[in-house]
Amino acid sequence: MNTQPELQKFEKPDGLLRAALRLKRTQAGLGLMILVIGLTIAGPLIAPHTQTEFIDMPNSLNIPGALFGTDYLGQDVWSRFLIGGRSILLLSLSATLLGATAGTFLGLLAAIMKKKTDEVIMRIFDVILSFPQILLALLLVSMFDASPTLTILAVALSTTPRVGRIIRGAALSVVERDFVQAATALGESRIRILFSEVLPNVTGPLLVEVSLRFTYSIATIASLAFLGFAPDPTAANWGTMIQENSVVIVIQPWGAVLPVIAIAVLTIGTGLCSDGLSRVLAGIDRGGKGE
Amino acid sequence: MSDGLRIVDLRLDVEATGCDIVDQVSISIAKGRVLALVGESGSGKTTVGLAVLGHTRRGVSINCGKVFCGETEILNLDEGDKRKVRGRLVSYVPQDPSSSLNPALRIGLQLREVLEAHNFGGSDEARKARIKEMMAEVLLPSDDEYLERYPHQLSGGQQQRVGLAMAFACRPSVIVLDEPTTGLDVSTQEHVLKTIRQLTRDHGVAALYITHDLAVIADLADDVAVMYAGRVVEQGEVAEIFKNPAHPYTRHLVAAAPDIAGKKAIIGLAGRAQSPGKRPVGCAFAPRCELAEDACRVEFPAMVSVSVRHDAACIKAKQSSSGVGASTKSESTRKIGEPVIEVSAVSAGYSGNLVVHDVSLTIRKGECLALVGESGSGKTTVSRAIGGLHREWTGSIRLNGREMKTMARQRAVADRLAIQYVFQNPYGSLNPRRTVGDSIVRPLLIDGKSKHDARRSVLEVLDKVSLPSSYTNKYPDQLSGGERQRIAIARALVSEPEVLVCDEVTSALDVLVQAAIVDLLSDLRRQLGLAMLFVTHNLPLVRSIADEVAVMSEGRIVEVGPSESVIGNPQQQYTQSLILATPSIERSMR
Amino acid sequence: MPILKFIARRLGLGVLTIFAVSVLIFLVTQAFPSDPAQAILGRETTPEALDALRQELGLYRPAVTQFGAWFFDILQGDIGKSFVTQLPLSDYIAPRVGNSLFLMLVSAVFSIPISIAVGAFSALRRDQTFDKVSSTTSLVLAAVPEFVMGTGLILLLSTSVFQILPAITLIDAGQKPWSDISGMVLPVLTLILAVTPYVSRTMRASMIEMLESDYVEMARLKGMSERTVLLRHALPNALGPVFQVIALNLAYLAGGTVIVERLFNFPGIGSALADSVRARDLPAIQFLTLMIAGVYVLMNLLADVATVIATPRLRTSLK
């Protein structure tokens, strides 16, 4: 029998993503996400009406050609629903990526520089973290304007310290490990150590945190729209739709029901994905047979 | 003699796969005797130890077998009865006292609750008296202030004594000790071992002592059972096993163990034991065994009697000769040259607190200097200062007469590459996200070598550490501890350094692998004329590798000299006590 | 007393953080927007009105002076007047603080014990049916934004499916919130559903870690009863990380509930903030955000202190 370790065939150790994808919850989460993302991509193309077009009496159901009736302004609920997800998704994705990039950089910097730099970065994080995420975004957006750029910046700003703290914590334990010391002994530059020794070893926690932050960015951006701070208040937007149509929910529930379902499905999807990732990261299901 | 503990044909499986972790384990221990269960990491010895208390870790289950503590069979008891037996009839002393004592509870309470749970003593007063008695037996203070302490307020040795007091509290008849002295300094270890011997003999307890350290066994145990890949391969009385090992694996173990009072040459063995599920049919040791023949690969050999009360599971057990050959390498005269590293008056510390005071050392070309000391002696700090990894130090470190800057980054590239550092833990010193080849090649790229030349050098250096060139594409996760340490050494050698700083490089390895690595380092030093600083807490190892030894204590060097004379005839009181506290097979066998 | 020293040090840090927070709020609300007066009054206004408002805001003074005046007024307890109503803000905010506090207390009283129990029980029944169901439920609840969950509850319980509860709270800021118990149910339920998953998941993870620890194994090997193992050895050590999460959630309940209060029209500080933002009532926005941030800092401080007190290793190493 061939049991000599030298002769065994080795495979590259399984990556976090691949391992996570073997879990049912990650598969389900990804499925839900793809469903909603597909809807936001295809929706505007198949929408029968434009988002602000008056098609019939406000708040009416059973209108031919309008699957879910009209909203409080007499616009087509189905069309607005099909169109109204794209901006939320784009804004929250951009905000997450921007915040995660900044957070990763600052977190790594804090971990490797230690002392003063670390202290300063962490105190700044503390200040930002003293605001509930929605509050900081609301303050910025209401004081300046709710343009896409500012919305992204506002949400990214509150994402940064949350990602930064996680990355710093993960990086601190990596920095203590001997392979970083070995690189230091070779005289590698700090920047090189940061990006080629430390960063590849914190991608696991980073991936989990990014997927988690994506869930919250969606929530925050949809909530801003719900409070009336969408980039374009007249445009179709799931958050705006829920707010506009909740008043007439008794007569015409679809205007609120459809976006509620869509946002719920999307966030549950991202939530399931991040849970799958974090389970694999925690080693609970690594190498197991799935669930 | 009546049996205190009898394990009959025990088998434990991994629940998910049904593969055996441990199989066909039968051991008996008479009252008042200590049996050492010895094996490498992963051999299943802790699993056996826990099964004696009817306990298994998550995902493991007992397939079959019986465990008798006196008249009581443990494995058939229901959970409630097991609970009554644990801590009362059979108790357990864990490996790591610092994590096994509850950090949130005072030690007095943790002692008292064992007595209360088994209603030992009958009244609170009686229990209080018993606690005081126990604390006295393990040589700890028993006043209220001491019992009010939390575990973290005790030293490692004290924590382990509390663990012992807890285990002996209800006067059990069987006790399982799972490497209770791992991680303790030798002087602390000596005291703990003395206490264990005293208590087991005085109270007629049958003790199962789990360990990987042969020297400790020689010192403490009456009998030995050797485990390999989940099976007992040999058992018998201590003296008999050491003088007359019958199983090839045991012979290798004995040959690989360094000894402070005995032989100097240690012999390693390549390969590793396979984990459950991957073990070969037949004798698990056959793939590494030079005596193996086809019959060994068919079925697991039965235990045969070698002599009175000495059995081995090997078809060649009775062929007495064929021991592991003594080192064939001639003791070639080493060429010791000019000083390469000169450390003078170095003091070092952490945020202002000095931990190293005025240390001076010289290492010459082709020479190995062992820097020895207990934990906290400052030996690693000195080595890190030499490697340019420690920020806070004063004094002078010279390489070939050139003054070295504090940190590696400030030093010239050639100087950085001339001093190479090998770390203690091979699991931490290689970046898990990089292939072995990428890790080894870095120093060359820093040196400005072309990719082509660098690649050739990598293959050459892999050959030097006896690994095939196919290893360049592997990730550290795919390698065993010994292989990783070889890779770490290869990375250190690739830039053709003059000085190799080895920081406890074998302490995370099993004894056979340790011997192989020591052998490798000695060879390399001879071939390449390296100057080597070998930092270790393992005094016996010093004789096998070093020409010179410097003994450190509390940040100062207390004794320096040729290793034979320092260890054979120590002049300083500290060195004498250290050597006396170190267990030795030869000394015990005399 | 080392513990008092620790609290004092931690308090000092908290005060510094609050100061930095107030600078940030001031910058965002008053210093950076090109002309807050213009922003407040909108485009259709007269130069005179603008000038008057700029005078009132003190916008002609240097920014540092403006900040100093605002900050010291607040320190002295003078939180100013509302721009919209011209009435003292304290009259507007005080009853709402009480309402929010009540909402927070009721939600906390339900959610904390439930979540600790669910978390601990899931850990004990790890990978069994209860654990799987509760993990998935809390995962879903944690992912969905509160306003979506709240709207879902309205659809379910007060309009389309069942019609058993009022969709919004029908009380004024001056009234006591318990005068409309049925109106409290939905907001409280939404908050409980929003908070419980975090605490229970932390509790589960922390408890699992403790159950796998060497000292819990050792307690079992000592023959301790399962009850003692859990209540004495596992649970107290598992609570440490949970304190942090509870504090964070209490802080959230005290001030981060803008959305929930707005959705159910509950007259607390959250909806007050939403209203002030809409009306661009600068002094109200400034004070309310500062207060909410203050609660966050305070809660984190309490959590740190509680963790230190509950962890002997930390407590005894204080100097």
pLDDT value, residue C174: 64
pLDDT value, residue C305: 87
Q: How far apart are CA B318 and CA B305, in angstroms?
A: 8
Task: Please list every residue in chain A whose beta carbon sits closer than 8 Å to the beta carbon of residue B421.
Answer: 181-182, 185
- Who contacts A269 (Cβ-Cβ below 8 Å, separation ≥6)? A28, A29, A30, A31, A32, A33, A34, A35, A36
pLDDT value, residue A189: 85
pLDDT value, residue C171: 65
Among C24, C143, C151, whose Cβ lies nearest the Cβ of A242?
C151
Least confident of A231-235, B139-143, B527-531, C284-288: A231-235
Is residue A288 over pLDDT 50? no
pLDDT value, residue B397: 94
- Percent of chain C residues topping a pLDDT of 70: 89
pLDDT value, residue B9: 92
Element (H, E) at B334: none
pLDDT tens string A123-147: 999 889 888 888 888 888 888 878 8
Least confident of A13-17, A185-189, C83-87: A13-17
pLDDT value, residue B62: 92
Residues 156-215 of A with CB under 8 A from B: 177-179, 181-189, 197, 200-201
Report the DSSP beta bridge partners of residue B361. Answer: B343
Is residue C39 over pLDDT 70? no
pLDDT value, residue C160: 65
Cα–Cα separations (whole angstroms), residue A176 to A169, B286, B348, B428, B537:
11, 40, 19, 9, 22
Query: A143 and C33 in contact by Cβ < 8 A?
Result: yes
β-pairing, B231-237 vs B310-312, is antiparallel
Average pLDDT over residues C288-299: 88
Among residues A60, A61, A67, which one has the least CA distance to residue A82? A67
Element (H, E) at A100: helix A86-113
User: Look-up: residue for tokens 């601190």?
Assistant: A172
Mind giving me the DSSP string for B126-170?
HHHHHHHHHHHHTT---SHHHHT--GGGS-HHHHHHHHHHHHHTT
Q: How far apart are CA A20 and CA B574, in angstroms?
A: 55
Which tokens go with A36?
């909603």
Which tokens go with C126?
């790890």
Using pLDDT thresholds of 50, 70 and 90, give the confidence band for residue C34: low
Task: Please list every residue in chain A whose beta carbon sits closer than 8 Å to the beta carbon of residue B425.
Answer: 178
Average pLDDT over residues B351-366: 91
Residue of B nearest to A175 (CA): B428
Query: A197 and B279 in contact by Cβ < 8 A?
Result: no
pLDDT tens string A14-33: 577 788 888 888 899 999 99
pLDDT value, residue A3: 32
Which tokens go with B294?
């086809």
Least confident of A215-229, B159-173, B272-286, B498-512: B272-286
Average pLDDT over residues B209-236: 91
Among C217, C222, C311, whose Cβ lies nearest the Cβ of B117?
C222
Amino acid letter at C310?
A
Query: A249 and C255 in contact by Cβ < 8 A?
Result: no
Is residue B327 over pLDDT 60? no
Q: What is the mean pLDDT of chain B?
A: 88
- Who contacts B418 (Cβ-Cβ below 8 Å, separation ≥6)? B399, B400, B495, B497, B498, B499
The better pLDDT of the pair B237, A77 is held by B237
Strand extents, DSSP E, A160-247: none
Average pLDDT over residues B250-258: 89
Q: Please, how many CA atoms are within 13 Å of residue B144, restricted to the half-sphere of its CB?
A: 0
Query: B113 and C221 in contact by Cβ < 8 A?
Result: no
Among residues B203, B200, B235, B240, which one has the least CA distance to residue B220? B200
pLDDT value, residue B475: 86
Among B408, B443, B475, whose Cβ lies nearest the Cβ of A12?
B475
In terms of residues, how long is chain B?
A: 590
In terms of residues, how long is chain A?
A: 291
Strand extents, DSSP E, chain C: none
Name the maximum alpha-carbon separation found in chain A. Answer: 80
Q: How far apart are CA A220 and CA A216, in angstroms?
A: 6
Using pLDDT thresholds of 50, 70 and 90, give the confidence band for residue C274: confident
Element (H, E) at A92: helix A86-113
pLDDT value, residue B137: 86
- Percent of chain B residues topping a pLDDT of 70: 97
Alpha-carbon gap: A179 to the closest alpha carbon of chain B (Å): 4
Q: What is the mean pLDDT of chain A?
A: 82
pLDDT value, residue A191: 86
Average pLDDT over residues C230-251: 86
pLDDT value, residue C236: 86
β-pairing, B402-403 vs B393-399, is antiparallel
Average pLDDT over residues B72-82: 90
Residues 253-272 of A with CB under 8 A from C: 253, 256-257, 260, 263-264, 267-268, 270-272
Cβ neighbours, 10 Å, residue C164? 10
Among residues B556, B533, B562, B563, which one has the least CA distance to residue B341? B533
pLDDT tens string B387-442: 999 989 999 999 999 999 998 889 998 999 999 999 988 888 898 888 899 899 98
What is the per-residue burial (b if ≥16 Cβ within 10 Å, else e) of C204-241?
bbbbbbbbebbbbbbbbbbbbbeebbbebbbbebbbbb
pLDDT value, residue C172: 66
Q: How far apart are CA A195 and CA B185, in angstroms?
A: 39
What is the per-residue burial (b if ≥16 Cβ within 10 Å, else e) of B453-468?
ebbebbeebbebbebe
For B68-123, where are the alpha helices, taking DSSP H only?
Answer: 79-85, 97-100, 107-117
Q: How far apart are CA C298 and CA C294, in angstroms?
A: 6
pLDDT tens string B489-503: 999 999 889 999 999
Q: What is the DSSP letter of C157?
A: H
Alpha-carbon gap: C203 to the closest alpha carbon of chain B (Å): 18
What is the per-residue burial (b if ≥16 Cβ within 10 Å, else e) of C295-313?
bbbbbbbbbbbbbbeebbe
pLDDT value, residue B85: 92
Using pLDDT thresholds of 50, 70 and 90, give the confidence band for residue C278: confident
Task: Please list every residue in chain B whose beta carbon sits closer than 8 Å to the beta carbon of residue A197.
Answer: 431
- With beta carbons less than 8 A apart as the criterion, state whether A224 and A141 touch: yes
Long-range contacts of C124-130 (CB under 8 A, 24+ apart): C124/C207, C124/C211, C124/C230, C126/C208, C126/C211
Alpha-carbon gap: B579 to the closest alpha carbon of chain A (Å): 31
Among residues A210, A219, A251, A212, which one has the least CA distance to residue A238? A219
Using pLDDT thresholds of 50, 70 and 90, give the confidence band for residue B293: confident
Is residue A35 over pLDDT 50? yes
- Percent of chain B residues topping a pLDDT of 90: 42
pLDDT value, residue A205: 85
The better pLDDT of the pair C168, A137 is held by A137
pLDDT value, residue A96: 94
Which of A179, A191, A195, A284 should we substitute to test contact with B (largest number of B Cβ atoms within 10 Å)?
A: A179
Residues 252-291 of B with CB under 8 A from A: 271-272, 274, 278-281, 287
Using pLDDT thresholds of 50, 70 and 90, give the confidence band for residue A159: very high
pLDDT tens string B1-27: 467 899 999 999 998 888 889 999 999
pLDDT value, residue B328: 46
Among residues A10, A27, A16, which one has the least CA distance to residue A283? A16
What sign results for the dihedral spanned by CA atoms B286, B292, B297, B300?
negative
Cα–Cα separations (whole angstroms), residue B477 to A194, B432, B442:
22, 7, 19
pLDDT tens string C188-233: 888 899 888 888 988 998 898 888 899 999 999 999 988 899 989 9
